[in-house]
Amino acid sequence: MTSSDLFGALFVPDAMREATSDRAWIGAMLEFEAGLAAAEAQADVIPQAAAAAIASACEVGRFDAQALGRAARVAGNPAAPLVRALTEAVEGDAARFVHRGATSQDVMDTASMLVARRALALIAAELDAVAAACARLADEYRDTPTVARTLLQQALPTTFGLKAAGWLVAVLDAQRRLAAVPLAVGLGGAAGTLASVGGAGLRVLALLAERLDLEEPAVPWHTARARVAELGAALALAAGTLEKVAHDVTLLAQTEVAEVAEPAGDGRGGSSTLPHKRNPVRSVLAMACARRVRGEASILLGAMAQEHERGAGAWHAEWQALGGALAYTGGSAAAVREVLDGLEVRPERMRENLELTGGLVLAESVSVALGERIGRSEAHAIVEAASRRAVEAGRPFRDELLDDEAVSSLMSRDELDRALDLHRYAGEAAALVDRALERYRERV
Amino acid sequence: MTSSDLFGALFVPDAMREATSDRAWIGAMLEFEAGLAAAEAQADVIPQAAAAAIASACEVGRFDAQALGRAARVAGNPAAPLVRALTEAVEGDAARFVHRGATSQDVMDTASMLVARRALALIAAELDAVAAACARLADEYRDTPTVARTLLQQALPTTFGLKAAGWLVAVLDAQRRLAAVPLAVGLGGAAGTLASVGGAGLRVLALLAERLDLEEPAVPWHTARARVAELGAALALAAGTLEKVAHDVTLLAQTEVAEVAEPAGDGRGGSSTLPHKRNPVRSVLAMACARRVRGEASILLGAMAQEHERGAGAWHAEWQALGGALAYTGGSAAAVREVLDGLEVRPERMRENLELTGGLVLAESVSVALGERIGRSEAHAIVEAASRRAVEAGRPFRDELLDDEAVSSLMSRDELDRALDLHRYAGEAAALVDRALERYRERV
Amino acid sequence: MTSSDLFGALFVPDAMREATSDRAWIGAMLEFEAGLAAAEAQADVIPQAAAAAIASACEVGRFDAQALGRAARVAGNPAAPLVRALTEAVEGDAARFVHRGATSQDVMDTASMLVARRALALIAAELDAVAAACARLADEYRDTPTVARTLLQQALPTTFGLKAAGWLVAVLDAQRRLAAVPLAVGLGGAAGTLASVGGAGLRVLALLAERLDLEEPAVPWHTARARVAELGAALALAAGTLEKVAHDVTLLAQTEVAEVAEPAGDGRGGSSTLPHKRNPVRSVLAMACARRVRGEASILLGAMAQEHERGAGAWHAEWQALGGALAYTGGSAAAVREVLDGLEVRPERMRENLELTGGLVLAESVSVALGERIGRSEAHAIVEAASRRAVEAGRPFRDELLDDEAVSSLMSRDELDRALDLHRYAGEAAALVDRALERYRERV
Amino acid sequence: MTSSDLFGALFVPDAMREATSDRAWIGAMLEFEAGLAAAEAQADVIPQAAAAAIASACEVGRFDAQALGRAARVAGNPAAPLVRALTEAVEGDAARFVHRGATSQDVMDTASMLVARRALALIAAELDAVAAACARLADEYRDTPTVARTLLQQALPTTFGLKAAGWLVAVLDAQRRLAAVPLAVGLGGAAGTLASVGGAGLRVLALLAERLDLEEPAVPWHTARARVAELGAALALAAGTLEKVAHDVTLLAQTEVAEVAEPAGDGRGGSSTLPHKRNPVRSVLAMACARRVRGEASILLGAMAQEHERGAGAWHAEWQALGGALAYTGGSAAAVREVLDGLEVRPERMRENLELTGGLVLAESVSVALGERIGRSEAHAIVEAASRRAVEAGRPFRDELLDDEAVSSLMSRDELDRALDLHRYAGEAAALVDRALERYRERV
């Protein structure tokens, strides 16, 4: 009953919540039990008929999450009461073949991986859409001048396309990392020796992995938890990547900057008391989600030193941390997707902002041009002085430069104007956008 | 729908889950709105009748958490749709006085504090019971010799009472810290200036604080988030204190140590596949809870740098983090209380373990006695050599010492036996237990 | 040899680095040893002459940090080799009274507290200066209108004084929290029973606490680590408070906002390639420091469940974490102090920004005024529509309102102008500033 | 001057400290500058002679870390003063080609990757040695029975070889993950557009990547920080893997368990006050290191949302976090390598511990054998009852079973003894060891 719908529905789309719900966990546990029975039947460890009977009892609807949770306080995990309930639900003699040779941790670990797989598929779909939106923006605004900002100060020109290209490459990397985390079946029996499966342990392990389409581990991983922690880390990296995009959007959407705005509609972003605002609500939700993901990932990364053959507490802390990391990465991805689909981009405002400093954002360009003649340091000093005078006098930078003897002795007015041309000073931005788009196209 | 009952019921007792549930949050938000209306009526900002009408509409049952959560995606927080729904629920003209002068953050922040207060009361009750159990154990086993272990190695004698006294003092400190965190009302209006309350802002602030029995802040704390982070830290400190107790219990309950066992009953601690085990399940749950609390606290401590007059994301990440930190500290406290109430303590086994090294745990005692004669370093060297010989030869330490010329030339057999007397070497253990119990009694 | 000067000198002022240096730690350990000997002499446990001889050997300059560090790999902590080296350094018979009855953890724990106390004094001085600067700003700009921003969007008017007052109260709270953390002496002997001090353990404990001016704990706290973790939490809360100020400064200093600028001079904030920039360098350093403090605090909060009577690893992780948390909180405080001392504040730019939306930041004011006549919801709808039309048409908000029949039928032009008066809509800002300043004055 | 040698030398071997030292960072920055000049000369952006002059000035010995660190407070990073000092150090006209087209972040980011590469090579060598030691242990003790413990309770038999095999596979995975993190050159110029390199930006980027043997990124990654965070995560996963091994060793080395002991020698593990102890010091250091690595990794994972084209604070927090994560992962690996090389393994003690429960660790084996006849649940109930009677009466489990009518009616005495045979109940342990060793051999 800890708060789940009120905040859950705020941050996480329904499909993702469903994929990490009580129902999803119970379903995954049942999938393990049915799969185990089928594998054992195939390996002649239990009768085919028993496997069939077990499979037919594995219906999520039969089991009550709250009751299982309360009963779980006895054994310390929900697998134990589920197995008991399942055993009761199986008809006749087959009941004695339920959970044969497995231990509670096998159920939970395999279920974790199955829950993860489904949630990761939803995340991947959202990330695909985010990448597509980034690619569209990079392509459409490939040559749109905007200002690059370092330490939140206007620095010099870039293009909005290159901004989007940077997001794009980062999202592609996040996807690659998530896809690379191996999801393995968990089966070892109480001691990790597969002793209780009888002599067919290794065969059952292989068959079960194949059935559930999960990796077969070299050895049971009851207390080798990098598998779970690695997933947490990859989710945190994905969420952090999305947070960067959302953060940029909130900064670009500031009233004083106003270069982009989140798509409006459905009253979105309206404030209850400030009717004129257009809040970057989805970006804000995405950033909040990323913070939750990191909290969960820190639990997973801190839970690796599990004792002997089964962890005492660290293992138990993984379930919700993994579920939360999945759900909120999904929440973050969905929010960023909504932000970018239909993002209002305002090239004219970018242009205005570029002109805000009266040409000072091209100081580097002048400095470089001068530097070719007299060296970087000296050129830097001259331009810095001119910049300062321009700022202090509130005069256009160009005028200040034209009046500077050092400058005028070294550069013609034409050369100066070339150095002050915005478009000429976007460097390789267009080519870099193309590289990012090429990487995107190769992927899909 | 993210998993909540399955794992929630496993880790957190029902009362604590209820106190941090969707219903509790909605109730607390309504309490803010009713309280605000009453305060404003008292300050003549709105009519008395309006306040009464608003109060009577503030029934938790009217509002659907899931619907509010989904609607919250528009504004970015659940207060906005709740205020809308409440306004619709209020009869007649009074509707226009709902939420007068307040902003969404006022609702959420005050609700956070109200939710916290109720959950903290439950936690305090559990901690009281934990402290009482520690005090009982400290008192009952005040003089029971057991071995002190450093780096998990037997070191030298102490008493079980002193162990429990150490837990006790730590729990008292945790309670003190939790009780010291100020819980303040949140009211500032959209800009934190109370402008929209009209001229009566400060008076309404004071009246609302009084009504809700929360502290009145000097200035609105919309982006001064130490209040929330401090609560998270105090909860993490409490959970860490409980984790220490639970950790000690799991270590003392190890099959090879067996000095304590968690209370049995209701099949508790039984393993699904290993019928003979007596798992320290509640301790394990308590430790898992502590890990979650730390994850949540890290979110809160990382959420302090909120932008300008309202945070963009960091604030939004606080709600669940605070709720989770409260719920799981409660879960941890309840589990430790169950562990200590009825903890099986086995003095005879402690005695056996003390004898496991054939007297070596008294090496320091001999070393000190010798050191009084020849200095710490030399005594240490002699005793270390004798210890090594005893270990290598598998001989009792006493025999080895008696055969050592250096020792026999400096100490009589009686003196040696005094140095090897367990009871004599518990130092100030009993007096320290008394100090702890005195501190406990002073508190209650 | 891990990087310390290059980055250390960048982030942390020399005095603070010195207070948490190897030399400071060794000095604090020696202070423990000298203090212990003196206390034991006073309690007649060792001869007065021995205490004097020990005290005179306790010179920091004698001991080599690197050599101690390497030797420490044998015992696992630097106290062991230091005690050995100190024993060698003490002349004659007194050597055998060195470290009498203490264990390595006593040395390290007490040294931690002594290091903390000195570093906290430096932090307190910096925080005093930060508070003073905040108070000056709050006072000077008490009535200076500026815009309040929520989710980084302009919301409605406030004053710069109230911003500074918010920082001020938060800094005062951070100071209070740091001052409240009790710093206690650590003395328990190997088992925490004080056995090896002979019968005078409790008396020595009290005398040592008095001598070192540290709190006397009720029981030894070898594995009750909340003392250290609490310090870490209080430091993280202080650093987060400073980070908030620094974050606001970077946002207000953005080229497009430009309401404040960090003090210039010494080429500070100059970019190597962008001569015109005025980077908020000190704010950036302060924020980086806060991130490090949180990393260290997370180590301390995660290190509480230490085993039995001495932690195996968690304890060992505390030393650097505590030292780092102290040093970087100090770095953060110093940087923010430098930012605020001489902060350029630009009221005229604030005014310009306030006018950026053509009066829309006063939409709430109009909404409230209208709401008094027709209710909050309806007023909100009317104003929201007018706002939207103003934005779409690029027209001043006032004109749009004057043309609105609903508005003009309910409010006179004068009433409207009053509602659109910036100064009238700062609410209780001035009074809130006064409350903050009163709180500040009461403190000093 | 923050403490570095005292604790640095305790936790981190000299070579690893050197690889992450001030000197290593300065050297890596110079390597960037020399490499950049060489690449630009090759691309005809600057004269060959200038590149040669720059290269010859790039001597680490010329530069003072402390002075650079202090000077760095002006620009906010150490690259700026280093470039200035280097420019001064370059003879003649070549000085004006120093750092051509690059920005401070290019220097720092590339230097981070170069520092990482060297440190990772040292870590890899330590992990190789750890893996080799695990493989030796797995092989040597392939069939040595020991007890598997779950929740720290004896559960049922396994082999020590399988324990070591589990460590081995985890270490191989950690190595794979570290090796898979791409290390890329950083070069983008102030805006990430390569504008200031003139038209040859992309060519210089490719040539520099080739020269430094780093990956060429698709686009500059000034604010795409997953590269750094991913490294932090991979280090945390490696450190957590090592912590698991170290944790198991401390648990197995407990006085009451005593199945392994860390190698002695050089007085290692001796306690200053407890001469008989054999502390698992290296394991303890390894675990402390892992905690630091996690603290640093949390900083890196939390630093991804960097603003626009350069982060304001989050970037600055990366340098020490990365350096620390590398150094302490190295410290952890070195400590575990020392633990495993020469680990004392005591098969006879394992056997004694296996017999501690009078056969109860084979309860599952009996349960399975019975279950084949009457089903899992019923068999479990019978065996559980017999276990309980055995525990209560302090009688051997076998006797209790023989007296049980249900058991004796279903199993012969021979069948029972087979079920109670330790060696028969290690399941697939030996085969699993072989799988792990095969994986190891395939790797090397």
Interchain contact C302–A (C-beta under 8 A) = yes
Of D276, D353, D364, the CB nearest to B363: D276
Winning range, highest mean pLDDT, from B345-359, C347-361, D310-324: D310-324
The DSSP letter of residue B62 is G
CA distance A348 to chain B (A): 26
Interchain contact B87–A (C-beta under 8 A) = no
Q: What is the pLDDT of residue A146?
A: 97
**Residue C250: which pLDDT band, with cuts at 50, 70 and 90?**
very high
Q: In which residue are the tokens 């581990």 written?
A: A217
* Alpha-carbon distances of C250 from C253, C262, C280, D224, rounded to whole Å: 5, 9, 6, 21
ipTM of the complex: 0.95
Q: What is the pLDDT of residue B444?
A: 62
Count of other CB atoms within 10 angstroms of residue D232: 31
**pLDDT, tens digit, 9 for 90 and up, residues D210-219:** 999 999 999 9
Q: What is the pLDDT of residue C374?
A: 86
Q: In which residue are the tokens 């279903």 written?
A: D410
Q: Between B146 and A361, where is the model more confident?
A: B146
Beta strand ranges found along B213-353 (DSSP E): 260-261, 344-345
Number of residues written out for chain B: 444
Three-state SS at A150:
strand
Question: How far apart, in whole angstroms, are the C-alpha atoms of residue D102 and residue D195?
Answer: 9
Interchain contact C88–D (C-beta under 8 A) = no
Q: Answer yes or no: is pLDDT of C295 > 60.
A: yes
Q: Answer yes or no: is pLDDT of B381 > 90.
A: no
Question: What percent of chain B is predicted at pLDDT more than 90?
Answer: 80
Interchain contact B5–A (C-beta under 8 A) = yes
Rounded average pLDDT over B342-351: 96
Q: Using only C-alpha atoms, what is the Rg of chain A?
A: 29
pTM higher than 0.90, yes or no? yes
Interchain contact D253–B (C-beta under 8 A) = yes
Question: How far apart, in whole angstroms, are the C-alpha atoms of residue B124 and residue B177?
Answer: 11
Question: How far apart, in whole angstroms, are the C-alpha atoms of residue A265 and residue A339?
Answer: 12
Q: What is the pLDDT of residue A234?
A: 98
Residue B140's Cβ-side half-sphere holds a number of Cα atoms within 13 Å equal to 13
Give D298's contacts in chain C (Cβ within 8 Å): 294-295, 298
Residue numbers of C between 53 and 72 with CB closer than 8 Å to B: none
Of B273, B357, B388, the CB nearest to D364: B273
Interchain contact A74–D (C-beta under 8 A) = no
CA distance B126 to chain A (A): 17
Burial pattern B39-59, b for ≥16 Cβ within 10 A else e, equals bbbbbebbeeebbebbbebbe
Q: What is the pLDDT of residue B276?
A: 63
**pLDDT, tens digit, 9 for 90 and up, residues B5-55:** 999 999 999 999 999 999 999 999 999 999 999 999 999 999 999 999 999
Interchain contact A304–C (C-beta under 8 A) = no
Give C375's contacts in chain B (Cβ within 8 Å): 93, 95-96
Residue A435's Cβ-side half-sphere holds a number of Cα atoms within 13 Å equal to 16
Asked if C305 contacts B284 with a C-beta cutoff of 8 angstroms, the reply is no
Mean predicted lDDT score pLDDT of chain D: 94
The DSSP letter of residue B149 is E
Question: How far apart, in whole angstroms, are the C-alpha atoms of residue A151 and residue D315?
Answer: 10
**Residue C367: which pLDDT band, with cuts at 50, 70 and 90?**
confident
Residue numbers of B between 16 and 55 with CB closer than 8 Å to C: none
Check CB contact under 8 Å for C162 and B193: yes
CA dihedral D96, D97, D101, D106 (to 10 degrees): -110
Tell me the two tokens of residue B180.
Answer: 């010291």
Ramachandran assignment for C375, one of left (phi > 0), alpha (psi -120 to 50 degrees), beta (any other): left
Q: Please report, as a single letter, which amino acid is at residue B148.
A: A
Interchain contact D293–A (C-beta under 8 A) = no
Q: What is the pLDDT of residue B267?
A: 58
**Cα Dmax for chain B:** 101
**pLDDT, tens digit, 9 for 90 and up, residues B382-434:** 998 898 888 888 888 889 999 999 898 999 999 999 988 877 788 999 999 99
Question: Which of A262, A277, A370, A397 is most worth mutating to test chain C (most C CB atoms within 10 A of its CB)?
Answer: A277
- Alpha carbon D144 to chain centroid, angstroms: 28
Which residues of D are marked as active site?
271, 310
Question: Which of D154, D289, D304, D365 is most worth mutating to test chain A (most A CB atoms within 10 A of its CB)?
Answer: D304
Rounded average pLDDT over C350-366: 90
* Alpha-carbon distances of C160 from B35, B189, C67, C383, rounded to whole Å: 30, 17, 54, 27
Q: Using only C-alpha atoms, what is the Rg of chain D?
A: 29
Q: In which residue are the tokens 């990382």 written?
A: B302
Question: How far apart, in whole angstroms, are the C-alpha atoms of residue A86 and residue B337?
Answer: 32
Of C254, C275, C280, the CB nearest to A383: C275
**Cα Dmax for chain D:** 101
Q: Which helix (H) or strand (E) holds B66?
A: helix B65-75
Q: Using only C-alpha atoms, what is the Rg of chain B?
A: 29
Count of other CB atoms within 10 angstroms of residue B267: 11
Interchain contact D233–A (C-beta under 8 A) = yes
Give C303's contacts in chain D (Cβ within 8 Å): 291
Cα dihedral sign for C69, C72, C74, C77?
A: negative
Mean predicted lDDT score pLDDT of chain A: 94
Question: How far apart, in whole angstroms, are the C-alpha atoms of residue A393 and residue A379?
Answer: 21
Q: Which DSSP string corresponds to C153-200?
A: EEEEEEEHHHHHHHHHHHHHHHHHHHHHS--B-----TTSS-GGGGGG
Tell me the two tokens of residue D436.
Answer: 């792990």
Check CB contact under 8 Å for B236 and C301: yes
The DSSP letter of residue C310 is B
Tell me the two tokens of residue D146.
Answer: 């020991």
Pick the closest to residue A197 from A42, A323, A316 (CA basis): A42
Tell me the two tokens of residue A350.
Answer: 């970018």
| Smallest CA–CA distance from D252 into chain A, residue | A308
Q: What is the pLDDT of residue A394?
A: 82
Of D150, D273, D367, the CB nearest to B364: D273
Question: How far apart, in whole angstroms, are the C-alpha atoms of residue A191 and residue A219?
Answer: 12
Question: How far apart, in whole angstroms, are the C-alpha atoms of residue B185 and residue B208?
Answer: 8
Tell me the two tokens of residue D401.
Answer: 């079973």
Check CB contact under 8 Å for A219 and D162: yes
Interchain contact B325–C (C-beta under 8 A) = no
Three-state SS at C344:
strand
Question: Which of C1, C21, C68, C194 is most worth mutating to test chain D (most D CB atoms within 10 A of its CB)?
Answer: C1
Pick the closest to residue B167 from B119, B132, B121, B123 (CA basis): B132
Asked if D148 contacts A190 with a C-beta cutoff of 8 angstroms, the reply is yes
Q: What is the pLDDT of residue A390?
A: 87
Rounded average pLDDT over A407-413: 91
The DSSP letter of residue C312 is S
Question: How far apart, in whole angstroms, are the C-alpha atoms of residue D366 and residue D410?
Answer: 11
Rounded average pLDDT over B72-95: 95
**pLDDT, tens digit, 9 for 90 and up, residues C179-190:** 999 999 999 999
**Residue C307: which pLDDT band, with cuts at 50, 70 and 90?**
very high
**pLDDT, tens digit, 9 for 90 and up, residues B283-307:** 999 999 999 999 999 999 999 999 9
Check CB contact under 8 Å for B316 and A285: yes
Q: Using only C-alpha atoms, what is the Rg of chain C?
A: 29
**pLDDT, tens digit, 9 for 90 and up, residues B227-277:** 999 999 999 999 999 999 999 999 999 999 999 999 976 555 555 456 567
Question: Which of A4, A5, A6, A17 is most worth mutating to test chain B (most B CB atoms within 10 A of its CB)?
Answer: A6
Of C257, C273, C387, the CB nearest to A276: C387
| Smallest CA–CA distance from D359 into chain B, residue | B276
Give D299's contacts in chain C (Cβ within 8 Å): 291-292, 294-295
Mean predicted lDDT score pLDDT of chain B: 94
Check CB contact under 8 Å for A283 and B77: no
Pick the closest to residue A328 from A10, A12, A5 (CA basis): A12
In this complex, the chains that touch D, judged by 3 or more CB pairs closer than 8 A, are A, B, C
**What 3 state SS string does chain D have?**
CECCHHHHHHHCCHHHHHHCEHHHHHHHHHHHHHHHHHHHHHCCCCCHHHHHHHHHHCCHHHCCHHHHHHHHHHHCCCHHHHHHHHHHHCCHHHHHHCCCCCCHHHHHHHHHHHHHHHHHHHHHHHHHHHHHHHHHHHHHCCCCEEEEEECCEEEEEEEHHHHHHHHHHHHHHHHHHHHHCCCECCCCCCCCCCHHHHHHHHHHHHHHHHHHCCECCCCCCCCCCHHHHHHHHHHHHHHHHHHHHHHHHHHHCCCCCCCEECCCCCCCCCCCCCCCCCCCHHHHHHHHHHHHHHHHHHHHHCCCCCCCCECCCCCCCHHHHHHHHHHHHHHHHHHHHHHHCCCEECHHHHHHHHCCCCCHHHHHHHHHHHHHHHCHHHHHHHHHHHHHHHHHHCCCHHHHHHCCHHHHHHCCHHHHHHHCCCHHHCCCHHHHHHHHHHHHHHHC
- Alpha carbon C308 to chain centroid, angstroms: 33
Q: Count Cβ–Cβ pairs < 8 Å, chain A vs chain C.
A: 131
Of D274, D383, D391, the CB nearest to B364: D274
Task: Let me know if D125 is exposed, middle or buried by CB neighbors in 10 A (0-12, 13-18, 19+).
Answer: middle
Check CB contact under 8 Å for D391 and B149: no
Q: What is the pLDDT of residue C266?
A: 59
CA distance C435 to chain B (A): 6
Of A10, A18, A291, the CB nearest to B313: A291
Which residues of B are marked as active site?
271, 310
Q: What is the pLDDT of residue B424?
A: 77
Q: What residues pair up with B149 in beta bridges, in sequence order?
A: B154
Q: Between C212 and B2, where is the model more confident?
A: C212
Question: How far apart, in whole angstroms, are the C-alpha atoms of residue B192 and residue D372?
Answer: 72
Tell me the two tokens of residue C112.
Answer: 């931690």
Q: Between D394 and C202, where is the model more confident?
A: C202
Of C149, C224, C310, the CB nearest to B309: C149
**pLDDT, tens digit, 9 for 90 and up, residues A294-344:** 999 999 999 999 999 999 999 999 999 999 999 999 999 999 999 999 999
Question: How far apart, in whole angstroms, are the C-alpha atoms of residue C289 and residue D313?
Answer: 8
The DSSP letter of residue A217 is P
Q: Answer yes or no: is pLDDT of D272 > 60.
A: no
Question: What percent of chain A is predicted at pLDDT more than 70?
Answer: 96
